[in-house]
Structure 1
Amino acid sequence: MMVLKLKKWDSAEHLQTKEDIALYFDACLEEAGDDIAFIAKALGNIARAHGMTQLAIDTGLGRESLYKALSADGNPSFATILKVTRALGLRFHVEVAAA
């Protein structure tokens, strides 16, 4: 019998271009609804793909603080989310929701 070796999925490994990142974050925002932990975790995955050290420099926030805020257990302020998205070269786009 052959043993199948599995590896835990890590979204960050597959976010290689700005387009990948934008599409991933857009999909996560759609899926999350009002679940801020889901959005924080998605931003954490993007941050790891980008490089947490560079993100800390770009945002002026501590690396450890970013890891904590952008985890599934994190509760980042909206100001932190805005700083992170700007540093990652992302921006929010608002449109009228379908009825």
Structure 2
Amino acid sequence: MNPVEALQPSHEELIDRLKHDREFTATYVATALTDVNDSERRAAGLIALRTVAEVHGGLGAVAKAGKVSRASVYRALSANGNPRLTTLIELLRAVGLRLSVELENKAASDLKRPVRGRPKKRS
């Protein structure tokens, strides 16, 4: 076993921590959501979210608690899923979490503002 594998919990240890450690679950989901934004790691992020849903009663129970169709949950949390924001918010709420916004390194003032006025005429 290499050192990286030694630091990673087994599947059973992961499930146990997700069931009993809310802080760990929140960090796990936050990391998964970061992965969802990366096209190369999207599938892993969605599967991580699916694992959390399964730990908290299963996809059907989470769908019902989140008032989302079961089919939507299965599609959204598949390796090729692309969950709607409303679906994601409801699923997180169903497992006792919420979506939040935090500052990133890039300041909003660094964004280019659109130029106001009339569009230039093409010649």
Partner residue in 1 for 2:68: 61
Q: Is the 2:62–2:91 Cα contact (8 Å) retained in structure 1?
A: yes
Partner residue in 2 for 1:5: none
Runs (5+) with no aligned partner, structure 1:
1-7
Structure 1 stretches of 4+ with a deviation exceeding 3 A read: 8-12, 30-39
Partner residue in 2 for 1:40: 46
- For residue 31 of structure 2, the aligned residue among 24, 27, 31 is 27
**Percentage of matched positions with identical amino acids:** 34
TM-score by length of 2: 0.59
Higher relative CO (CA 8 A, sep ≥ 6), structure 1 or 2? 1
Structure 1 residue 68 displacement after superposition: 2.4
- For residue 80 of structure 1, the aligned residue among 82, 87, 97 is 87
Runs (5+) with no aligned partner, structure 2:
1-9, 107-123
Considering only CA atoms, is the larger Rg found in Structure 1 or Structure 2? Answer: 2
Q: Is the 1:69–1:75 Cα contact (8 Å) retained in structure 2?
A: yes
TM-score by length of 1: 0.70
Aligned length: 92
Partner residue in 2 for 1:3: none
